[in-house]
Amino acid sequence: MAKNKADLLQGTLDMLILKALSLGELHGYGVIQRIRQLSDEMLNVEQGSLYPALYRIEQKGWVSSRWDVHETGRDAKFYKLTRAGRKQLETEEASWDRLVLAIAKVRQAA
């Protein structure tokens, strides 16, 4: 990946996707763009990571999808957060906060 772009850690991608979709329905490629934009270009999700992840997440019932015509006139697959997905997002955010806190504690050590 390009310089200055943080590699994703395994386990963070689902949270990012759910967060992106929590701001409103999006098509797959749009999820990549929104995450990149919101993170000030620091996070770049690869297509080869995104599409399998969206499939996984849909299987788990956290998002639903439908085909529609994008404003550009092209067909695209739109994803929407389900109620279960919103709950999952909260869970993952809480886990993330705990991990960040725990690691901060270790790093505070003299």
Partner DNA sequence: TATGATGCCTAACGATTCTAGGCATCAATG
Partner DNA sequence: CATTGATGCCTAGAATCGTTAGGCATCATA
Q: What 3-state class would DSSP assign to 81?
A: strand
Task: Provide the residue type at 84 as one letter.
Answer: A
Q: Minimum distance between the CB of residue 110 and DNA, rounded to whole angstroms?
A: 21
Please give the Cα distance from 78 to 85 (Å, whole number): 15
Q: Which does 6 bind (CB under 5 to 8 A by kind): its own copies, DNA, none?
A: its own copies
Return the structure tokens found at 63. 């998002």
The nearer residue to its own copies, 87 or 98, going by C-beta atoms, is 98
Chosen residue from 41, 46, 90, 93 binding DNA by CB under 7 A: 46
Query: Where do contacts with its own copies occur on this chain (CB under 8 A)?
Result: 6-12, 15-16, 19-20, 23, 35, 38-40, 42-43, 93, 95-96, 98-103, 105-107, 109-110
Q: Closest separation between CB of residue 109 and DNA, Å?
A: 19
Residue whose CB is less far from DNA, 74 or 83: 74
4 binds DNA per the rule CB under 7 A: no
Neighbour tally for 18: CB within 10 Å: 24
Query: Rounded to whole angstroms, how far apart are CA atoms 100 and 71?
Result: 39
Q: Mapping DSSP to helix (H, G, I), strand (E, B) and coil, where does residue 82 land?
A: coil
